[in-house]
Structure 1
Amino acid sequence: MATYRELFAYREFRYLYGGQVLSYLGDQVAAVAVAVLVFDRTNSALLSAVAYASSWLPGVLGGPVLSTYADRLPRRSVLIVCDLARAALIALVAVPGLPLWVAIVLLYAAHLFSPPFVAARAALMPEMLPGEAYIAGNGLSNITSQLSQLFGFVAGGVIVAAVGPVWSLLGNAATFVASALLISAGLARRPAPTLSGETTGLLAQSRDGIRYILADPWLRTCLALVWVASAFSFAPEAIAYPWADSLGGGPAQAGLLLAAPSAGFLLGAILLTRVLSPETRDRVLRPAAVLSTVALVPALLDPGLPVVLLLLAAAGLGASFIVPLNAIFVRRVAPEFRGRAMGVAASGLLVVQGLAFLAAGAAVQAGLSPSTVVGLSGLLGTAAVLVTRMARVPARADS
């Protein structure tokens, strides 16, 4: 079992991870800055939401196609170009006096470069880190992402309040430039991975990637398990504030409801990628997926806040099965399809989570109590996870 410290013995990982940390920090500050910038100019919550949606909507609509570039072009080049493009576009958003509609268009354009970047980074990781080091490296990346969400928004609010949204956006642009420089300096040049015998059109190659996944029973059932479990286990996030209100609390309690699953997820990611042996880890992946939803079922009894927080933490602990399973998924995919496979996986995850958020909100709006909605989400999710049968981890995934 590789330790997190041992990962930094790999030169390429050090540089790629350094760029990742910078980008995560910059993105959290920028998310707050965008909300402040748009709301200050328009006093419109709707337009603020439209601008905020730029961070995920491009991935939903264009992820499978745009991620194909991670298989068509040298992946190091994809990473650098995406970082520099995002830096330029985010810097333009910060230009004083820019028409609001132009700023929103630029935001969406900037986030169009995220799917190929994420796909290229995920596809390169197995080439940088051998064996169990890759599982640990993927775990560390996910833990870093969760920590940035736990603390980044708080820090982002402080920074935006101190320097203003314009300088905060420029700081985000600077983190992308720094990431590009680190990648340029630390990553080896590799040729584009696409086989010469493949079709050459972008859409055709995207379609080939989807067909590749669907043709492999393990890959498609793996995706189904991740999508189903994530949709139901993360649905409570959409109704955190009304749930806190029904429990007699307010924004502070809503923050606790949002933080509890992340805390459980962090603990689970550490256990699954650092503490448990590979054999034990592989055996508990499916039980952990069941835990991610069944832990929500007791919410039907409408317990108090302390019990609710424990239930959400347990659900987050179970949901961490995604971390090692994601690494196993990528390693099973043939190298020339890894970018497209990650594009399909990420886009599907955004879609099912978005639909689950909408369903949870609509159910509360229709008159169900938040506790009932969360408990029913747990029941339905458990049933869906149990019928999503996945074979044991394949031997070639461990090669």
Structure 2
Amino acid sequence: MNQRIHRLVEPLRQPAPRSLAGAHLVSGLGDWAGRLALTVVVYDRSQSAAWAAAVTVVALLPWIGPGQMLATLADRYGRTTVMIVSDLARAVLFFLMAFTTSVPILLAAAFAAGLCVPPFAGARAAALVDVCDDETYPKALALFGVLTQVEVLAGYAAGGVLVATVGARPALALNAVTFLVSAVFVASLRRTAAAQPNSTSPVGWAGVRSGLAIWRTDPVCGRALLLFAGTNMFSVLPETLVVPFAADVEISETWIGALAAIIAIGSLIAVVFAPSDGTHEELLRATAWRGLVVAAASGALFTVASWPVAAFAAYAVSGMVDAIAVPTNQVVGERLPQAGRSAAMTVAAGTQNITHVVAITVAGITADRWGTPTTLAIAMVAAGCVCVWAALRPVAPTSTKPAAVAVSGAGNEGTPGS
């Protein structure tokens, strides 16, 4: 166990991965804490649950098209440049939100801040490949998987504490500072490969098409994306349905926060033990078999979730399914070409968000008809079926990374290289 923890934190010994990890954590804390504080402000102003829910909607909308187009700028102008601009823009927007009283203006500002997230996330994912060697990259991915869970837990907790102690509006202004800190971390990477521009990378819609084409040209990358998105669309449902689930199995509202938090704990445990060795095809197969085991276990536990211990265990094990993200991201990061990497990774994130919308919509309807425990058990079975398909269906082995894909035709951006 100590050896695995040592392996997990080993990337922090290197300056560039350490700075990127700092930016990842601090920026993520600002995103989640800011979303909570903004939801409080919008609800206080409108007294409407629909307007409060709109905060989440406007945060997701940039991932369905416009965010992917903006992410292509990271391939053209350098990962660090795009990350710093994204951080500074969000800092300004969150500071202005603290002094805005109009709900429509608040939501418009939230949408503008949301537009900065896909390019930042795509550039960060691509930069991690740029600053890590082949041995360090799998370890860094596992570390970032842990940090992602920590930022969600700590972000919500920090947002709640700030709202309770200083109020929602001061909390928004303080959250702006987290993006400035993140920009400082990223600025230390200006002399690394992550800062290098590529004048030939297409941007705008042409860049998005290039990112899509990359997934089609490499069957191993495509398999990794399908395995991740196909399981993650179901593993996200326990968190989404935690409130009605608690009501259905008669768990007190006092324990809802702990029930949601235990998902992240399960994911953290699985990330520490996630496979990282072998060929890419072997790694995906091993990941699929592990995913099948934990999905089946979680599904079985949801069928007896009327017992509180089983309910908490089901939620913890469901979080382990989400750890599939680490080895699948390792495969993708090691195979994607440098040119177009940011666009391709943001296309993958957009795919994830679209599948989330579909799965959540269907699950909500199903839960109203059959109850949340049955719905979540079915979801885990579905995730297991995806894992069986990925484990048993052969993928054409390829020993080389895909080449950068050239996209012909004029894009909307009107720049050379499209």
Query: Residues 336, 373 of structure 1: CA spacing in aligned structure 2 closer, same or farther, 3 A cutoff?
Result: same
Query: For structure 1, which runs of at least 5 residues remain unmatched after alignment?
Result: none
In structure 1, the partner of 2:376 is 374
Q: 1:395 to 1:364 in 2, by over 3 A?
A: same
TM-score in terms of structure 1 length: 0.90
- The match for 2:308 among 305, 308, 317 is 305
CA contact (8 A) 1:59 1:347 kept: yes
Structure 2 length as normaliser, TM-score?
0.86
Q: Which of residues 119, 123, 126 in structure 2 aligns to 1:120?
A: 123
Once the two structures are superposed, residues 162-189 of structure 1 have per-residue CA deviations (whole angstroms, 9 ceiling, x without a partner) of 1111211111111111211222234325
1:157 & 1:65 partners in 2: Cα distance?
33
> In structure 1, what is the equivalent of residue 49 of structure 2?
45
Asked if the contact 1:236/1:360 (under 8 Å) is kept, the reply is: no
Structure 2: 5+ residue runs without aligned partners? 402-418
* Kept after mapping to 1: 8 A contact 2:296/2:381: yes
Runs of 4+ in 1 over 6 A off after TM superposition: none
Q: 1:302 to 1:51 in 2, by over 3 A?
A: closer
How many percent of aligned residue pairs carry the same amino acid?
27
> Which residue identity does 1:193 align to in structure 2?
N
100-109 vs 10-19, which deviates more?
Answer: 10-19
Q: 1:169 aligns with which of 169, 172, 185?
A: 172
Whether the 8 Å contact between 1:10 and 1:128 is mirrored in structure 2 is no
Equivalent pair of 2:29/2:154 in contact (CA under 8 Å)? no
Letter in 1 for 2:12: F
1:95 corresponds to: 99
Q: Would you say the 8 A contact 1:232–1:293 is kept in 2?
A: no
Aligned partner of 1:316 among 316, 319, 343: 319
Q: In the alignment, does 2:344 pair up with 1:345?
A: no
Contact preservation (8 Å) 1:12, 1:188? no
Mapping of 1:1-399 within 5 angstroms? 3-96=7-100, 98-188=101-191, 190-193=195-198, 196=200, 200=202, 202-272=204-274, 278-279=277-278, 282=283, 284-298=286-300, 299-365=302-368, 367-388=369-390, 389=393, 391=395, 395-396=399-400
Looking at structure 1, the residues matched to 36 and 221 of structure 2 have their Cα atoms a distance apart, in angstroms, of 36
Are the structure 2 counterparts of residues 121 and 102 from structure 1 closer, same or farther at C-alpha, using a change threshold of 3 Å? same
Which amino acid is 1:45 matched to? Answer: A
Q: CA deviation at 1:148?
A: 2.1
Would the aligned equivalents of 1:193 and 1:335 in 2 still touch at CA under 8 Å? no
User: Is the alpha carbon distance of 1:253 and 1:60 closer, same or farther for their aligned partners in structure 2, counting shifts above 3 Å?
Assistant: farther
Aligned equivalents of 1:326 and 1:354: distance in 2?
A: 21
Q: 1:251 is matched by which residue type in structure 2?
A: E
Residues 16/34 of structure 1: CA separation in 2 closer, same or farther (3 Å cut) = same
Distance change >3 Å, CA 278–CA 392, structure 1 → 2? farther
Q: Is the 8 A contact 2:232 2:352 kept in 1?
A: yes
Q: Go from structure 1 to structure 2 and tell me whether the alpha carbon gap of 1:277 and 1:323 turns closer, same or farther (over 3 Å shift).
A: closer
- Shift in Å, 1:159: 1.3
- CA contact 1:75–1:120 (8 Å) conserved in 2: yes
Supply the distance in 2 between the matched residues of 1:240 and 1:176 (Cα, whole angstroms). Answer: 30
- Call closer, same or farther: CA 1:277–1:65 in 2, change over 3 Å: closer
Which range moved further: 30-39 or 382-391?
382-391
Matched AA of 1:19: A
Contact 2:237 2:363 in 1 (8 A): yes
Output the CA distance in 1 between the equivalents of 2:181 and 2:235: 35
Give the 3 Å change call, closer, same or farther, for CA 22–393 of structure 1 in structure 2: farther
Deviation, 1:395, is 4.8
- Which amino acid letter does the alignment assign opposite residue 191 of structure 1? Q
Q: Contact 2:276–2:327 at 8 Å: present in 1 too?
A: no
What is the count of residue pairs matched by the alignment?
389
Q: Structure 1's 384 and 22: CA in aligned 2 closer, same or farther, altered over 3 A?
A: closer
Q: CA deviation at 1:56?
A: 2.3
CA offsets 1:261-280 (integer angstroms, 9 cap, x no match): 211110011122xxx66249
Shift of 1:376: 1.5
Aligned AA (1:7) = P
Q: Deviations for 1:283-339, whole angstroms, at most 9, x for unmatched residues?
A: 631112223432333123554121122233223223312112212212201110210
State the AA in 2 paired with 1:238: T
- RMSD, aligned α-carbons: 2.3
Residues 390 and 84 of structure 1: CA distance in aligned 2, closer, same or farther (over 3 Å): farther
CA deviation after TM superposition for structure 1 residue 393, in Å? 8.2
2:215 and 2:344 in contact (8 A); partners too? yes
2:256 partner amino acid? A
Worse overlay, 126-135 or 107-116? 126-135
- How far has the Cα of 1:259 moved from its partner? 2.2
Given residue 273 of structure 2, which amino acid in structure 1 is its aligned partner? L
Superposition deviation, residue 204 in structure 1: 1.5
Amino acid at match of 2:93: L
